């Protein structure tokens, strides 16, 4: 049996709607650049970094900074995976928003005192995020809690025990073309797009 050095590469997942499907809440111009530019860039970046790791393993890399390589790999891999959740967490305008149902609603009601209170605290978490990053809702398979998470930049590890149920991208590239520096207006608009069925399906896999 021969030993090989080879990592499987990532592919950009399909956008689950047309680029203008989220208007007026998020413009087609933003989605085009965000998906075809930024997300694709993270996929390419992760794959390029895995190429680099292959070269290192083969002894073909002349000089390298291992921590730099791993930081690149983490940034791009997480960027790819977080965006893959973000797109599917939204539904075309008119088909998203409202309130959650299913087991997600049950957990929100039993742990957060109802959807209205949950929305207030999740909004507070979103709007208080300093700089660049994400706000997420995840399910802790150990404590059985539905919990809030803040993610700086892309630097979150996707532990299998902490699956993300709902996430919002708060990088400037997610809103600046349309909302300029009014991030809060983008975050308020985002609630109209939430695909609660998708969030409930993500949670249900772990219950
Ligand atoms: Fe993004």
C-alpha 2 to ligand 1 mean position (Å): 40
Distance CA 49, CA 60 (A): 14
Distance CA 65, CA 61 (A): 10
Question: Beta-carbon neighbour count of residue 166 at 10 Å?
Answer: 24
Distance CA 199, CA 165 (A): 5
**What pLDDT score does 1 carry?**
59
C-alpha 169 to ligand 1 mean position (Å): 6
Q: Which residues of the chain have pLDDT under 70?
A: 1-2, 157-158
Distance CA 178, CA 104 (A): 31
In a domain, 20, yes or no: no
Omega cis (within 30) before 47: no
CA proximity to 135, closest of 36, 38, 147: 147
**What pLDDT score does 157 carry?**
66
In a domain, 9, yes or no: no
Whole-angstrom Cα Rg for the chain: 19
* pTM for the predicted model, two decimal places: 0.95
**What pLDDT score does 169 carry?**
98
Domain that holds residue 119: 26-207
In a domain, 15, yes or no: no
What digits encode the pLDDT tens for the residues 17-59? 999 999 999 999 999 999 999 999 999 999 999 999 999 999 9
C-alpha 34 to ligand 1 mean position (Å): 6
- For the chain, the domain total comes to 1
C-alpha 5 to ligand 1 mean position (Å): 31
In a domain, 154, yes or no: yes
Residue 118's domain is classified under what CATH number?
A: 3.55.40.20
In a domain, 18, yes or no: no
C-alpha 199 to ligand 1 mean position (Å): 18
In a domain, 131, yes or no: yes
Q: Are strands 133-139 and 164-169 parallel, antiparallel or unpaired?
A: antiparallel
């Amino acid at each position: 049996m021969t030993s090989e050095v080879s990592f499987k590469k990532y592919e950009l997942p399909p956008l689950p709607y047309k680029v203008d499907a989220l208007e007026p809440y998020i413009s087609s111009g933003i989605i085009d650049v965000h998906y075809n530019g930024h997300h694709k860039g993270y996929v390419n970046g992760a794959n390029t970094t895995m190429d680099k790791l292959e070269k290192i393993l083969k002894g073909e890399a002349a000089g390298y900074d291992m921590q730099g390589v791993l930081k690149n790999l983490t940034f791009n891999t997480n960027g790819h995976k977080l965006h893959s959740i973000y797109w599917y967490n939204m539904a075309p305008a008119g088909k998203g928003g409202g309130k959650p149902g299913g087991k997600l609603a049950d957990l929100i009601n039993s742990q957060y005192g109802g959807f209205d209170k949950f929305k207030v605290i999740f909004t507070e978490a979103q709007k208080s995020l300093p700089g660049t990053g994400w706000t997420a809702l995840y399910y802790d398979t150990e404590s059985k809690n539905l919990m809030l998470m803040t993610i700086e930049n892309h630097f979150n590890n996707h532990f299998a025990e902490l699956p993300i149920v709902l996430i919002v991208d708060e990088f400037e590239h997610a809103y600046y073309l349309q909302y300029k520096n009014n991030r809060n207006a983008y975050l308020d608009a985002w609630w109209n797009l939430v695909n609660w069925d998708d969030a409930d399906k993500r949670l249900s896999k772990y219950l």
